Chain A
Amino acid sequence: MKIISGTIIDQESTLTFEEVCRAIHAEDQLIIQFIEYHIIQPKGASKTDWQFDDVALKRARLARNFYYDLEVNFEGIGLLIDMIERIGALENEIEKFRQR
């Protein structure tokens, strides 16, 4: 079977606004709201040069899921995602300590 290669999304290989909308199945307006509420922060000054890296893509996907599944408002979504990231970082630290 053929081996398929892809691109890692990171700070250099980013996605455009349209690509993010397609990737996470969200309408333009929803992503714009995420940006207005600082849930995701693309690089670039205006919509046409916005760039979304791996962190933005991951946060956008979570935000979309929470928006549809949990019936939380945008402030709540932002807070929830920040907390999830913090818990992840803490769990990693605990793991490092536990090994000793």
Chain B
Amino acid sequence: MDFKDYYQILGVSKTATLDDIKKQYRRLAHKFHPDISKEKGAEEKFKAMKEAYEVLKDPEKRKAYDQMASGHHGGDSFTPPPGWEFQSGAQGHSQHHAQADFSDFFESLFGQNRAGGRHQQSFSQDGEDQHSKIEITLEDAFAGSEKHVVLSQNGSSRALNVKIPVGIMDAQQIRLTGQGSPGVQGGKNGDLYLEIHIRKHPTFILDKKDIYLTLPVTPWEAALGEKIEVPTLGGTIAFTLPANAQTGQKIRLKGRGLPGKSPGDQYATLAIYIPEPKNAEQKALYEKMKKEMPFNPRKSS
């Protein structure tokens, strides 16, 4: 495993006071917290920072780390010194740590499962619930699908195929009973909560269960109220425009959004596109309209 230079990760000097360390952590946490930040790689950066802070804010851990760290550089290959023993006075952080998912380096020095740290457990204990995120397409959400999910559980990875239910909305969570961390000594398995993220679609915009779309139409389709084809997630459907339809007007296609007990609707916003006159005859058509259909869209009614 690699040695981690916690001072470098947090961007503080080796002589920084606890106050300096706290301030620096807060500054960075506001910038990189994965639930707030839009920066690329924020999640990884934040995880590393949090681990560094966990050690440097605790005077006992920091002292032990400093003594052990002299002569090591970030990225050096590392094994804990023989006879390494760390016993912290502060307890009661286990619940917090459990989800923190720190590096092997941290675990080997301060973790509860480090070699020689804890004896083989003899009592039964339920496995913890787990949380994971997956990305799906809008088509997956509309029609349902199956997704291959790879989880990291107790340091190893486990793959499972999960059914994506029809009509699932963005940011919803699927609860998979018994698919979380395994129980110990006959304890129950935890559950897995899988958070769904629906990728942006090139044509359709999703809002909860409704679908939004901009629909280009010709001037004569709009003026005469012609029958046109409208793309929907379930395939193209025919729709007759109201006569004299205008740009910006919204048509509602009931029940054409994401399916469900109360299915969503599709809203198509009309956008009238004019054909470019390419020759004298076509230009003349516009001239004729200008003469025979006096019209000023800028005049307030």
Question: Which residues of A approach B to under 8 Å, CB–CB?
Answer: 1-10, 13, 15, 22-27, 54, 57-58, 61-62, 65-66, 68-71, 80, 84, 92, 95-96, 99-100
Interface flags for B21-39 (1: CB within 8 Å of A; 0: not) read 0100010011001011000
The answer to whether A25 and B161 touch across the interface, beta carbons within 8 angstroms, is no
Contacts of A65 in B (CB 8 A): 33, 35
* B274 within 8 Å of A (CB atoms): no
A26 to B207, CA, bound (A): 31
Knowing A3-B146, A6-B162, A70-B29 are in contact, say whether A62-B35 is a contact too (CB < 8 A): yes
The answer to whether B212 and A99 touch across the interface, beta carbons within 8 angstroms, is yes
Interface size class of B (residues with CB under 8 A): 35 or more
Knowing A27-B95, A96-B212 are in contact, say whether A69-B128 is a contact too (CB < 8 A): no
Q: Which of B9-17, B173-181, B236-244 contacts A (4 or more CB under 8 A)?
A: B173-181
Contacts of A4 in B (CB 8 A): 160-163, 176, 179
A100 to B175, CA, bound (A): 37
A-B contact pairs, 20 of them (CB 8 A): A1-B160, A1-B161, A3-B163, A4-B160, A4-B179, A6-B165, A6-B175, A7-B174, A8-B165, A9-B173, A13-B175, A15-B175, A25-B98, A54-B171, A57-B173, A58-B173, A61-B131, A68-B96, A84-B35, A96-B212
The answer to whether B174 and A8 touch across the interface, beta carbons within 8 angstroms, is yes
* B60 within 8 Å of A (CB atoms): no
Interface residues of B in 147-162 (CB under 8 A from A): 159-162
Contacts of B162 in A (CB 8 A): 3-6
Knowing A69-B29, A100-B269 are in contact, say whether A8-B173 is a contact too (CB < 8 A): yes
Knowing A4-B161, A23-B131, A100-B214 are in contact, say whether A70-B26 is a contact too (CB < 8 A): yes
Contacts of A6 in B (CB 8 A): 162-163, 165, 174-177, 179, 192, 194
The answer to whether A92 and B207 touch across the interface, beta carbons within 8 angstroms, is yes
* B193 within 8 Å of A (CB atoms): yes
The smallest beta-carbon distance between B151 and chain A, in angstroms, is 12
Contact of B173 among A22, A54, A69, A100 (CB under 8 A): A54
Contacts of A95 in B (CB 8 A): 200, 205
Given A4-B176, A57-B193: 8 more A-B contacts, CB < 8 Å: A6-B165, A7-B177, A8-B168, A22-B128, A61-B131, A65-B33, A71-B22, A96-B205
